[in-house]
Amino acid sequence: MRAADQDTSRAKYAKASAIASPVIDVHSHFIPDAYWSAIERRVDAEPDFAELARRNNLVPQLDDGPMRTVRMRLSEMDSAGVDISVISLPPPGVAIRAGDARLARDVNDGLVEAAMSDADRLRVMCVLPLPDADSSIAELRRLRDHPLVRGVAVTTNVQGWSLDALDLQPVYEEIAQADLPLFVHPALEPLPAVFDDFALTASVAAVMSSSLGVLRMIYAGTFDRSPGLTVIMPHLGGVIPYLLQRLMDLGGQQGARYPLRHYVERRLIFDTCSYHPPAFRCAADTVGIGRLALGTDYPFRGSLGRAVDDVRSQHLREDDEAAVLGRTVAHWFA
């Protein structure tokens, strides 16, 4: 980034930090030009990927639509009362060309450029060229001091490697030392034919993907080796809250130092993108209301107002509602 750009964004960031109790959306998707070009090239070259992208609503995208510009997003933020949106790539992220350091750099510069269009209200989850650990650390060090880069976003299961790989441990150490949360999003990968119909790719496979990725990290000891790492999981933690006792009964601790519940209650934050009140109550009862944060999955699940109304309709105590809507994650994003 140019020094002048960083100085400007730092000043705007300081202004945004003055918000006393902000409403913060931790799960909002945006496609910068470099990422869209990579999507188009792969869609053109691989019919199977093109079909998978279509089933996950990644394509088509309008050039002036909500994932290609920030204009509509900012207008909806005004209407919904959202103070800050944290933008990240929709899947597969830069895993679309795994290990491509140049792509990661170009995408991050595009995300930052978009956020700087309104630095009072937009933050960035940067991407890393995994599984290349050295290049990922270099990219993180390039960005970590930019005031609008406030987290790291990865996708879970990638063909040929996964997030619990020991080779990636230095990356997690770097993320923890930078005091950035790790946003673990479902992947976009080929699936068995049973998912082909009835929108099961977008509905069921996504929550399975993030659940598998984070469970592997826990069981493999990833969290033990990086004690400062916090993970934000979308979609109310996937299936983990609902199946927690089953997982503990049948899975035990595996390679983890503590029982599964320890990590779920202390190391994970679940975003609220579900829109199903019983699921919200299950997650809150499992991890505590203080481990939930507003997530919209914009624009895939509808308007920002829908997500804010969903939290406000839970009849929480005023203090708890404020925590879910933003205070829990304000340390990173406000």
Query: The CATH number of the domain where 80 resides is what?
Result: 3.20.20.140
Give residue 278's identity as a one-letter amino acid code: P
- pLDDT, mean over the chain: 93
Tens digits of per-residue pLDDT, 24-48? Answer: 999 999 999 999 999 999 999 999 9
Name the 3-class secondary structure at 84.
Answer: strand
Of residues 21 and 51, more confidence is placed in: 51
CB atoms within 10 A of CB 165: 18
Distance from C-alpha of 135 to C-alpha of 132, rounded to nearest angstrom: 6
With respect to residue 171, please indicate whether it lies within any of the assigned structural domains: yes
Mean pLDDT of 127-133: 97
Residue 330 in 3-state DSSP? Answer: helix
Q: What is the mean pLDDT of residues 92-103?
A: 96
Residue 71 in domain: yes
| Residue 289: pLDDT over 70 | yes
Residue 167 lies in a domain: yes
Q: Would residue 1 count as lying in a domain?
A: no
The predicted structure's pLDDT at residue 20: 63
Q: Is residue 282 part of a domain?
A: yes
Kindly report, residue by residue over 139-163, the tens digit of the pLDDT: 999 999 999 999 999 999 777 899 9
Range of the domain at 164: 21-333
CA distance 211 to 251: 14
Distances (CA, A) of 148 to 29, 30, 36, 116, 225: 16, 15, 22, 8, 28
| Residue 71 host element (H or E) | helix 71-80
**Averaged pLDDT, 4-17:** 43
pLDDT digits (tens, 9 = 90+) for 197-243: 999 999 999 999 999 999 999 999 999 999 999 999 999 999 999 99
Assigned domain for 56 exists:
yes
Among 12-26, 76-90, 209-223, 295-309, which stretch is predicted with the lowest mean pLDDT? 12-26
Summarize the confidence of residues 245-253 as an average pLDDT. Answer: 97
The tokens describing 157, both together, are 């299961």
**pLDDT over 50 at 18, yes or no:** no
Task: Evaluate whether 151 touches 126 at the Cβ level (below 8 Å).
Answer: yes
Report pTM. 0.92
61, pLDDT greater than 50: yes
Question: For residue 59, is it within any domain?
Answer: yes
- Say whether pLDDT at 15 is over 50: no
Closest CA to 35 of 52, 53, 21, 48: 53
Q: Is the residue at 98 inside a domain?
A: yes
pLDDT surpassing 50 at residue 6? no
Work out how many domains the chain is built from and give that number.
1
Distance, CA of 86 to CA of 93 (rounded, Å): 15
Q: 132 - beta bridge partners?
A: none
Sheet of 24-29: strand order equals: 24-29, 84-88, 122-126, 149-155, 182-185, 231-233, 268-271, 292-293
Instruction: Look at residue 12 in the predicted model and tell me its pLDDT.
Output: 43
Coil, helix or strand at residue 277? helix
